[in-house]
Structure 1
Amino acid sequence: MMQRRAPVPSSGADAPASSEGRRMEKSLSPRGEKALLSRQWRVCLGAPAPQARAGARSGGWGEGTTEDSQLHSTVGVRYGQPILPPLSSSTRRTLPITPTSLERLLAIAQAEARKRSYDSPTPIPDSLPHPSYNARMQIGPYTIAPKVILAPMAGVTDKPFRLLCKRLGAGLAVSEMTISDPRFWGTRKSLHRMDHAGEPDPISVQIAGTEPQQLAEAARYNVDHGAQLIDINMGCPAKKVCNAWAGSALMRDEDLVARILSAVVRAVDVPVTLKIRTGWDCDHRNGPTIARIAQDCGIAALAVHGRTRDQHYTGTAEYATIAQIKAALQIPVIANGDIDSPQKAAQVLRDTGVDAVMIGRAAQGRPWIFGEVAHYLATGALLPPPSLAFVRDTLLGHLEALHAFYGQPQGVRIARKHLGWYAKDHPQSADFRAVVNRAETPEAQLALTRDYFDALIAGVPPPLHAAA
């Protein structure tokens, strides 16, 4: 088995903060910083204050060390941004996030937050799932907190998006499905999908296929390359996947399901999870049967989308079957499907009794939804919508991460769908997409995006005609 990479030695002192950041930083004593941080985490998320750890991390979207990943997984940036708004652009540029500067950075962010609307959430205490709500879930040795999970989505949940969602509040982010056929593991697409360097623990990798031993080998291969959780795809409704007798097509053969699950669980020494739908069609809602098979085979947690395979994403998700599954199992059950707001997440948790919620399409162009949901579940308070400046800075960082991860021209092409999702519901979004989708270089894509949001912030018409 391959060894995890050793932490990279610290690169030295932190970069100096902006003048604005230094002024705010000076107003907070070290003891005051720690007390403030402790209150913030305990009140908002029920998490302990972070302890500084050794190891350095590159600024921005760079990859970090194993220790640094654990730090961010515990608290830090992942919870910081939805609860504490982003730093000003000048501070964000000049103060890279490292374990040694984490507490100071968060204290500065809290000071900046006093000037923003995030300080006045609207309380709705009677909508919490239950007075004894527990913000954590356990999968094997791993604590998932908050229990708001990014669903695996092919072509969407790549490494840049997973990192972004984790930093904005997701307790777990599952990778895109990787094919179990070893003939394709060396392709550029597969290599990108299997790249997990610098991701916070636990690293969850989804595998897809139809042959038990091949899936078992794929699980071993991914564990050797950093996976700490293996997720088996039996929920994808895509025609090309089901035509290959994979994804949700497997739910039609319960004996094959049992053979696959047993083979994968025996093959690896990490927890194995499973994602399914409620059934094949409305006449064959065999999700509860598959769920019992999964538990008997040693599956550590089960995610259920509240639609059948035949529904794809039409109609609405139903949660009665998910509640039935939860009532019958002892392992954690995760609800998925149409969870698109903090209130909906609380309702699903309350009505089904599940252990966690999983969010997919609602996170496209809205990765901060995880922090919004986590904050609401923990406090009963709704965060106001993020400012245009927050959306702009988040999107620009996401674009830069895509450009760096995929290179040119692939990064620019992949970024286009995300641009459409972020711009949706903003003024002149169709015109903006028509212009920005013609950009062929990272520089042009970033400039057009920045100009569009800067104009919206200033309250003037976006200069789309000039850019075109």
Structure 2
Amino acid sequence: MVKIGETEIADFPLLLAPMEDVSDPPFRAVCKKNGADLMYTEFISSDGLIRDAAKSLQKLDIYDEERPIGIQIFGDKIDSMRMAAARAEEAAPELVDINYGCPVKKVACKGAGAGILKDIPKMEKMTAEIVKQVKLPVTVKTRLGWDHDSIKIIEVAKRLQGAGIQALTIHGRTRSQMYKGEADWSYIADVKNQQDIHIPIFGNGDIDSPEKALEYKNKFGVDGIMIGRAAIGYPWIFREIKHFFKTGEKLAPPTLDERVDVAVEHLKLSIEWKGERQGILEMRRHYTNYFRGIAHFKPFRTKLVESLDPNELFDTLETVREKFKA
């Protein structure tokens, strides 16, 4: 059983990645129902939190049914990150996670996210300060390095463990790769195989099928797997992986009824959490993935991404159910 602090997660946990504008409470709810073992909030700006910015504060919303959950923070200033960690702790998650992996320019080029991989001593110092600040377990998500010539992930892992973190997730790409190319999990395995590494090591990057999940579990020896993009519009991936681990057999893909049911639930939760207009707008990015592979779906997708009337949206989803039944 993998434990982070006093929280038991699972024998081989499947983690839902913290994805900006995706991993909100409505999305986390449908992933939890379909087997995600540990989830994270979207990353939250440390400066935004300590300024009480409404958008940052709303990202602190967590609900009992989605536990265990971690609140992820990012920033480039040690004092701001320390104070933000204290604010995150007040929301009572199971852990506080530090984002040292975001590759996007507006974050990394300011020295936050993956940008701190250019300054490993600062990364270590910031982590130690956050660990001292909070009573909750602190974990980290990072990348292999800034670029291929500066991969020092074994050193990073040892220094972060020394600073007091209780689990580490490694995305198998450098910052310069962004999301291109293939994630190289051999570096993650190198970290896991270090005799003096005793914290859980989770792998992240390119897991998009039960077969690949099992292959990487066996080949690289990680303690669990974090799944990101493959879960967008397809929360069933968690249950499919677990079933495959247990039986060696693939589950049948979700039925049309299941797709519609989850889209309806997701939309309802999105409206409840964000309010009608914003909830409808933020749901639009999910419809294509929920109904991927259905021939002649485009007219219905157009209705779903153009309407601002919740009744019309729910009616359209029910029409999809009737129209495309086998």
TM-score by length of 2: 0.95
Measured in 1, the distance between the counterparts of 2:47 and 2:141 equals 19
Matches within 5 A, 1:218-257: 218-257=84-123
Distance 2:190 2:263 in 1: 39
Amino acid at match of 2:216: V
Distance, in Å, in 2 between the alignment partners of 1:439 and 1:184 is: 36
Q: Say if 2:9 is the partner of 1:144.
A: yes
Distance 1:225 1:407 in 2: 21
CA–CA separation in structure 1 for the residues paired with 2:35 and 2:305: 29
Aligned residue identity for 2:303:
V
How big is each residue's C-alpha offset from its partner over 1:250-273, in whole Å with a ceiling of 9 and x where there is no partner? Answer: 111011101111001111111100
Cα deviation code 1:40-85 (max 9, x no counterpart): xxxxxxxxxxxxxxxxxxxxxxxxxxxxxxxxxxxxxxxxxxxxxx
CA contact under 8 A between 1:272 and 1:300: conserved in structure 2? yes
Give the counterpart of 1:260 among 126, 135, 148.
Answer: 126
- Pairwise CA distance, 1:183: 6.0
| 1:379 paired residue among 233, 242, 247 | 247
Shift of 1:231: 0.5
Looking at structure 1, the residues matched to 97 and 233 of structure 2 have their Cα atoms a distance apart, in angstroms, of: 24
User: What displacement does 1:429 show?
Assistant: 3.3
Distance 1:450 1:192 in 2: 31
Deviation at 1:378, TM superposition (A): 2.5
Return the letter of the residue paired with 1:149: L
Q: Does 1:213 pair with 2:79?
A: yes
- Contact 1:412/1:440 (CA < 8 Å) preserved in 2? yes
Structure 2: tracts of 5 or more residues without a match: none
Tell whether the 8 Å contact from 1:185 to 1:191 is kept in structure 2 after alignment: no
- Residue 223 of structure 1: SS of its match in structure 2? helix
Establish whether residue 442 from structure 1 lines up as the match of residue 310 from structure 2: yes
* 1:280 and 1:286 in contact (8 A); partners too: no
Q: How many residues align?
A: 323
Residues 371-380 or 225-234, more deviating: 371-380
Distance in 2 (alpha carbons) for counterparts of 1:327 and 1:375: 27
| Aligned twin of 2:61 | 195
Q: Deviations over 1:200-245 (max 9, x none)?
A: 4322100001112211111111111222200000011111111221
Which residue identity is paired with 1:224? E
Q: RMSD of the TM alignment (CA)?
A: 1.4
Give the Å deviation of 1:177: 0.5
**Equivalent-residue separation in structure 2 for 1:250 and 1:365 (angstroms):** 31
What letter matches 1:194 in structure 2?
L
User: Radius of gyration: which is bigger?
Assistant: 1
CA–CA distance in structure 2, aligned partners of residues 280 and 140 of structure 1: 29
* Aligned partner of residue 191 in structure 1, secondary structure: helix
Letter matched to residue 166 of structure 2: A
Q: Please give the per-residue CA displacement for 1:159-180, whole angstroms capped at 9, x wherever unaligned.
A: 1111221111000011101111
The separation in 1 between residues aligned to 2:3 and 2:246, in whole angstroms, is 17
SS class of match (2:306) = coil
- Give the structure 1 partner of residue 209 of structure 2: 341
Residue of 151, 161, 168 corresponding to 1:302: 168
1:297-446 residue pairs with structure 2 within 5 A? 297-328=163-194, 329-446=197-314
Q: Distance in 2 between matches of 1:441 and 1:185?
A: 34
User: What residue in structure 2 maps to residue 62 of structure 1?
Assistant: none
Deviation at 1:182, TM superposition (A): 4.8
Quick one: which amino acid aligns to residue 226 of structure 1?
A: A
CA displacement, residues 78-105 of structure 1 (integer Å, 9 cap, x when unaligned): xxxxxxxxxxxxxxxxxxxxxxxxxxxx
In 2, are the aligned partners of 1:203 and 1:226 still within 8 Å (CA)?
no
SS of structure 2 residue aligned to 1:156: coil
* Distance in structure 2 (CA, Å) of the matches to 1:350 and 1:241: 34
Map 1:172-183 onto structure 2 (within 5 A). Answer: 172-182=38-48
Alignment match, 1:78: none
Query: Residue 280 of structure 1 aligns to which amino acid in structure 2?
Result: W
| Per-residue deviation, residues 264-318 of structure 1 (Å, max 9, x unmatched) | 1111111100001111111111222211111111110000011110111111111
Partner Cα distance (2:188, 2:322) in 1:
44
Q: Secondary structure at the match of 1:189?
A: helix
Q: Distance in 2 between matches of 1:431 and 1:278?
A: 43
SS in 2 for 1:292: helix
Runs in 1 of length 4+ with deviation above 6 angstroms? none
- Asked whether the 8 Å contact 1:150–1:172 carries over to 2, the reply is yes
% identical aligned pairs: 37
Alpha-carbon distance in structure 1 between the residues aligned to 2:92 and 2:162: 26
Are the equivalent residues in 1 in contact too, given 2:271–2:279 (CA < 8 A)?
Answer: yes
Residues 344 and 252 (structure 1), Cα distance of their counterparts in 2 relative to 1, 3 Å cut: same
Letter in 1 for 2:324: L
How far apart are 1:185 and its partner, in Å?
5.1
